[in-house]
Amino acid sequence: MHVKRPYALLLPALLLLTSMPLVWAQTEDTLKLNAGYALQTDNNLFRLPASTLAQGGNASATERISQSSLGLSLNKPYSLQRFEADVNLIDYRYQHNSYLSFTAHNASAAWRWSLTPKLHGNLTSSLKEALNSFADNQTLNVRNQRTDTTTRLDSTYELGAAWHVIGGIGTTSQKNVLPLAAEGNTSTTAGDAGLRYLWPSGSTLSYTFKKTSGEYTNRTIQPATLFDNRFNQQDNEIRLHWLLSGQTTADLSAAYINRSHPNFGQRDYSGINTDASLKWAISGKSTLTANWARELASFQNSNTNFTRTDRLSLSPVWQITPKTAIRARYEIALRDYLGSPSSATPSQRSDTTRDASLNFDWQPYRNLTLTTSLQNARRTSNQAGLDYNSNMASFAAQYSY
């Protein structure tokens, strides 16, 4: 099964890049060519439980994936404006499950505009193609490809040195080759407005009100299952960027969200999303970032309306030399499935995921970066058949000119 590719963004970006041969000679690094190759092994591609693997339930769960990429990027200032564009083709080849092989067409573009020094903003657009994770998508023998597109226009007007008026409008689209019942294809239009206060130290505090209208593009109204074809959401968010010292920065946010469905109020939910991160420059060569977040997200089936995920992560970085670095990350997340849409028994499903990675980066030459990585991803659940444990190893080379 094939879907029509959204070239509306990709083609203009290609034309923009290929029609500017003089820019390369005029300004160093204005136009860059990027090429890369990566090889990854995964001993549990389909995220199957150990019992299934032990019984030989899927002989092709161990997979070797190669990725070849080619891209162009543009970064060009002009007076008060800056223009950016990226076009990237990534060819994925699967050794044992060749039906999953495909070429992703990714692109992004941005106009960092400024009408006056006090009135400025961004016009951005992006397109990304990828395969859906098998963690919650157990449809085997068919490639379920996902395409995400976003477009946004935002602006800032500086009332003075401290107060800024902020706002924006935007659209998003998510499409899957095969429909996902719990997370259907969506299309949204959103607008937001707010105020930001800046301290002389560089710390900022902002409040934003956002209103979103959404549509499930692959659904019709289904009274029997209480699946709606539209939704609305309102967000009230406070965000703080706090420079605690020259070595420590904190980012804090809290947003009260209220999602409603015009035809089936049984699917409504509300609550607070929070995010707190602390970045500490331990020394000139090492940093540590800690993050905790709680997120509510739509997840609809016969006995669930949404998920609540509590996530904690630690990310240390050690810059051993100017050309070598070690990066690590550990994340643990607890996800609960909540909000029964009917009088039926709630799912009471609860999952715990643990993801760990260790990366070594080496830049032997200015234009060449080599990366080796080891990863482990695992999930335990209070429902049978949802546990998995996956080990991955990869090597990647990236060249820029």
Tell me the C-alpha distance between 276 and 312, whole Å.
10
Average pLDDT score over the chain: 90
Tell me the C-alpha distance between 51 and 252, whole Å.
42
| Token representation of residue 116 | 């006056």
Tell me the C-alpha distance between 291 and 353, whole Å.
16
The SS3 assignment for 60 reads coil
CA atoms within 13 A on the CB side of 312: 3
Residue 396 maps to a domain? yes
DSSP string for residues in 151-190:
EEEEEEEESSSSEEEEEEEEEEEEEESS--STT--EEEEE
Tell me the C-alpha distance between 362 and 203, whole Å.
34
Q: What pLDDT score does 4 carry?
A: 41
For residues 211 and 240, is the Cβ–Cβ distance under 8 A? no
Residue 124 maps to a domain? yes
Closest by alpha carbon to 293, among 306, 278, 315, 309? 309
User: What torsion do the CA atoms of 86, 291, 40, 392 make, to the nearest 10 degrees?
Assistant: -170
Q: Tell me: the pLDDT tens digits for 311-343?
A: 999 999 999 999 999 999 999 999 999 998 887
Residue 290 maps to a domain? yes
Residue 1 maps to a domain? no
Residue 47 maps to a domain? yes
Q: What pLDDT score does 11 carry?
A: 41
Closest by alpha carbon to 35, among 72, 5, 78? 72
Residue range of the domain that includes 352: 7-400
Closest by alpha carbon to 155, among 188, 190, 192? 192
Q: How many domains does the chain have?
A: 1
Q: What pLDDT score does 3 carry?
A: 39
Question: 290 forms bridges with which residues in the sheet?
Answer: 278, 314
Q: What pLDDT score does 27 carry?
A: 45
Q: What pLDDT score does 19 carry?
A: 39
**Cα-based distances in Å from 350 to 156, 220, 310, 383:** 42, 29, 11, 8
Q: What pLDDT score does 24 carry?
A: 36
Residue 2 maps to a domain? no
Q: What pLDDT score does 247 carry?
A: 96
Residue 89 maps to a domain? yes
Residue 301 maps to a domain? yes
- CATH label of the domain that carries residue 294: 2.40.160
Residues of the chain falling short of pLDDT 50: 1-27
